[in-house]
Structure 1
Amino acid sequence: MSNTSTTTLYIPTLKNISNQITFSMSIIILVSGLIGNLLNCLVFGQRSLRSKPCVIYFLLASISNLIVIIAGVTPGALQSFFKIPNQTETVPVFCKLRIIVLFTMRTISSWLLTLATVDRSLISNTNVHRRRLSNLKNTYICILIVSISSCLIWVQAGYCFDANLIGTPQKCYAKSDICRIFNDLAQSLITTIIPALVMLAFGLLTIRNIRHTQQIKPSTDPMSTTISRNTRKDERSLTIMLLAQVILLTMFTLPQAGQKFYLTYSFYHTKNSSQRALESLIFNFVLLLTYIPSCIPFYLYTITGVIFRQTLFNVLKKGFDLINCFH
């Protein structure tokens, strides 16, 4: 009798904790993410920065992150804040559309950062032929390939996912065993683990290139030395910004990859109601963690990027000057 009573209290407690975590984190993610990514777009959209391939990756990653936050967090947040029914949980079309957009944009964002890491390793290389591979033409080709590939990978969600499901971590979820296993593994490998490994490899290569470059004697021409120093300063600032974001992305997305592997491994295991309630709590918490890399970059760039802070200051100064003109 006591076990039954304990279980009866345990499950509602877990659900209440899950609701409180979702409510609190959704507010923080939504507000900081919308403001941060809009400011990112404003800064990286400046003509003075758009000539750098890495900045193009940052700009499009910020747009992707903005869409991820709107598609991923907004429906649940509106339900929590204003009691507006979450149509993505009950209407199949909205469920499928949200999942396709969310997963596609998240994969694009992850691989854009991966490409930015590759670009950093190229631009920091002492081999002039490899440095020339870092150009806008190659950048746009890579972005196109990543975008098309991501769409092709996740278009199957239109068939696999459905609304009003029972016994799944969310009401809008993969409807069959094969779909669940495929999507769990795809999210873990394609969106998280493989990009993280590539970013780690090229990040280490970039650090090695920078150390090697510092050992080379600079030019004796004063004009050439000044231009080279300013260029290296900008590139170093972008590299620090990128490496900080790579660490952040890996830290907050790997837990979901591990949880997806666990769900796949334990899919056919019999679970009682307490286990399901605990798994649901962990699922919701880990899911919210995956949105943090989409909302923090602006604040990370502001702390770590000198060139970003300077451009942001100039943009805000122009904005205030424009406002003062109307007074």
Structure 2
Amino acid sequence: MSSSLLIEIEQQITRIGYSLCILIGNIGGIMSLFVFLQRSIRRNPCGLYFIAYVIINMMYINFTIVLAVLSSLFNINPSIQSSIFCRIQFYISFILAIIPSYLLVMASVDRSFASSSNVHTRSKSNRRFAIFMIGIICIFWILFHLHSFFTIDIQLLYGTQVCTYFQGFPAAFVSYYNLVCIGIIPFLLMIGFGIQISINIRQIRLNPNRSQNNRRLIVLLVIQIIIYIILRLPTSLYLVYKEITKSNIKSSNQLIIEQFIQSVVYFCQFIQISISPLLNLIIKTFRYELKQALNKIIRKYNPIHPIQIPSNV
């Protein structure tokens, strides 16, 4: 495959693929919030994690991905014109990229508590603890990423001005940080708690008295974890390769190929962020909840013609 073809495909991914991510992500996010903001779900601690997860994902879509599309389609890139904006953009993108991962981890922790056969363990699943942990996660990563203002600036690389981190220790730190904090730790935690949830699901099936909402949220969470691992794993693997080969002498063609691979793995990450809200609609009950939410809105503004919801849904 020629270098020019790879460059053309990369440009189309940025223009068409990213634009679709913005559209799908916003539509799916709004639909998911209609469901999760229903009283029966928002009172559930796992529902609170999902609400925060969807909101921050939408913020990421409408900030980071939108800026990438503006840069590609309209050549609007404030990050290479203003050093302050460059640092702020990286800072916000770092925060919005990592917080959803740990919200998903905490949702896994909550469902492992809620699905436990031990009464004391189940009592740890509560709204107060969920609100506290959402706040702690946000505050921690907001403070942790303050290093962005000292390690990132506009630089000249390969004859082009780019907004990126300084070479040397800052570059190595960010690479290992992405690998460990966004890759390895969330993956291991999600897999570990996912296994525990799977074990607990078997016990729930044997106990018909457990809440239906708990079982539905567990199934939804397992689906989210599987998609997260499949679409985020390529990014972590690429970061490992990039760090191992950073001292190698590379030809221009090899650099183009690596840039193309980087675009593809980040596109996979954007796909995960965009489609995760729509995954909620896989569950039949959530589709029903969405119909009910839309029905309430239509009844409020047009009480004469409400949506007729089939009784067998």
Alignment partner of 2:19 out of 24, 27, 30: 27
**Does 1:45 pair with 2:37?**
yes
Residue 268 of structure 1 aligns to a residue whose secondary structure is coil
Q: 2-side partners of 1:143 and 1:172: how far apart?
A: 30
- CA separation of 1:215/1:47 partners in 2, compared to 1, >3 Å: closer, same or farther? closer
Deviations, residues 263-301 of structure 1 (Å, cap 9, x unaligned): 111112111211111111111111111111211122211
Deviations, residues 186-226 of structure 1 (Å, cap 9, x unaligned): 1121112211111111111111122134345x6xxxxxxxx
TM-score, normalisation: structure 1: 0.87
Alignment partner of 1:267 out of 220, 243, 246: 246
Partner of 1:5: none
Moved over 4 A (4+): none
Partner of 2:52: 60
Deviations, residues 288-327 of structure 1 (Å, cap 9, x unaligned): 1111121112221101x23322221111112223342599
Matches within 5 A, 1:121-132: 121-132=112-123
Matches within 5 A, 1:89-104: 89-104=80-95
| Residue pair 1:193, 1:254 contacting (<8 A) in 2 also | no
Shift of 1:75: 1.1
Residue 156 of structure 2 aligns to a residue whose secondary structure is coil
**Does 1:250 pair with 2:229?**
yes
Q: 1-side partners of 2:31 and 2:198: how far apart?
A: 28
Q: 2-side partners of 1:316 and 1:210: how far apart?
A: 31
Partner of 2:101: 110
Alignment partner of 1:151 out of 142, 147, 166: 142
Q: 1-side partners of 2:38 and 2:228: how far apart?
A: 25
Q: 2-side partners of 1:175 and 1:14: how far apart?
A: 27
Shift of 1:97: 1.1
The one-letter code sitting in structure 2 at the alignment partner of 1:291 is F
| Residue pair 2:3, 2:253 contacting (<8 A) in 1 also | yes
**Does 1:69 pair with 2:72?**
no
| Residue pair 1:90, 1:172 contacting (<8 A) in 2 also | no
| Residue pair 1:259, 1:283 contacting (<8 A) in 2 also | yes
Q: Which moved more, 1:315-324 or 1:9-18?
A: 9-18
Deviations, residues 31-53 of structure 1 (Å, cap 9, x unaligned): 00111112222321222321100
The one-letter code sitting in structure 2 at the alignment partner of 1:16 is E
Residue 285 of structure 1 aligns to a residue whose secondary structure is helix
Q: How many residues align?
A: 305
Matches within 5 A, 1:113-192: 113-167=104-158, 171-192=162-183
Q: 1-side partners of 2:278 and 2:224: how far apart?
A: 10
Q: 1-side partners of 2:95 and 2:204: how far apart?
A: 37
Q: Which moved more, 1:242-251 or 1:287-296?
A: 287-296
**Does 1:285 pair with 2:277?**
no
Shift of 1:180: 1.2
Shift of 1:175: 1.6
Deviations, residues 37-80 of structure 1 (Å, cap 9, x unaligned): 12222321222321100000000000110111122210121233
| Residue pair 1:110, 1:192 contacting (<8 A) in 2 also | no
- CA separation of 1:167/1:45 partners in 2, compared to 1, >3 Å: closer, same or farther? farther
Shift of 1:248: 0.6
Shift of 1:84: 4.7
Which structure has the larger Rg over C-alpha atoms?
Answer: 1
Matches within 5 A, 1:74-89: 74-81=66-73, 83-89=74-80
The one-letter code sitting in structure 1 at the alignment partner of 2:157 is I
Q: 2-side partners of 1:171 and 1:84: how far apart?
A: 13
Partner of 1:209: 200
CA RMSD of aligned residues (A): 2.2
| Residue pair 1:43, 1:315 contacting (<8 A) in 2 also | yes
Residue 302 of structure 2 aligns to a residue whose secondary structure is helix
Partner of 1:324: 302
Q: 2-side partners of 1:183 and 1:277: how far apart?
A: 22
Deviations, residues 73-94 of structure 1 (Å, cap 9, x unaligned): 101212334x151212432222
Deviations, residues 92-131 of structure 1 (Å, cap 9, x unaligned): 2222111111111221100000000011110010100000
Shift of 1:170: 8.8
TM-score, normalisation: structure 2: 0.91
| Residue pair 2:13, 2:267 contacting (<8 A) in 1 also | no
